[in-house]
Amino acid sequence: MTCIELMVDEHKKVIRMLAVIRRLCGRVLNNEAVDYGDFFVIVDFIRNYTDKHHHGKEEAMLFARMMEELGPTAEKIIRHGMLVEHEFGRLYVKELEDAVRRVLEGDMDARLDVIANATSYTHLLARHIDKEDNVIYKYGQNNLSKETMDRLERECDAFEQTAAESKTQDKYLNILKELEAKYIA
């Protein structure tokens, strides 16, 4: 599997987590029993799998090479598009975490903020993933030199090896499966 194929595959896992988030928000909306601690597990997944693991490869490897090699067009779509969206995602996650804390402290009005930030994150990421899979990655793949693509493969392999040694993928994919069993099944 190439680096880009791997990132597309990771997107599929992120999309599965987005479905979990929406299902959990539905429970909050319908005033059903909710284990708010699961939101902290989701935040951990987002910060460490989606952001650190997945976006780490994008930002430090693919996007960096695209901006270096492909000029102003790549600079604009990466710096003013993809990276801005990554930052918006981080903001939604921080606000979600804060809202969950307020709910657990007894502020039941903060449930609205839980729903608003969680669903805003799901909308942002769904659109973001579509752009990356169907435009950004293809643009990079079609325009980066063979030498650069080979370099990306080596960097990605090393990154994945380090993550495998620390069992990052195992941990977060198990979390995903557990939450899917709890909320989707």
**Residue 175 confidence (pLDDT):** 98
Question: Mean pLDDT, to the nearest integer, of 77-85?
Answer: 97
Residue 110 has pLDDT above 90, yes or no: yes
Which of the four pLDDT bands, split at 50, 70 and 90, describes residue 103? Answer: very high
Read off the amino acid at residue 181: A
Residue 113 tokens read as 């903020």
Residues 29/115, Cβ–Cβ less than 8 Å: yes
Question: Under the phi-then-psi rule, with left for phi > 0, alpha for psi from -120 to 50, and beta for the rest, what region is 43?
Answer: alpha
> What confidence score (pLDDT) does residue 19 get?
98
Q: Give the pTM.
A: 0.96
Using DSSP's 3-state secondary structure scheme, residue 47 falls into helix
Task: Write out the CATH class of domain 3-183.
Answer: mainly alpha
User: Domain residues of the chain, as ranges?
Assistant: 3-183
pLDDT at 185 over 90: no
Using the predicted structure, report yes or no on whether residue 144 has a pLDDT greater than 90.
Answer: yes
- The distance in angstroms from the start CA to the end CA of the chain is 29
Mean pLDDT to the nearest integer, 24-53: 97
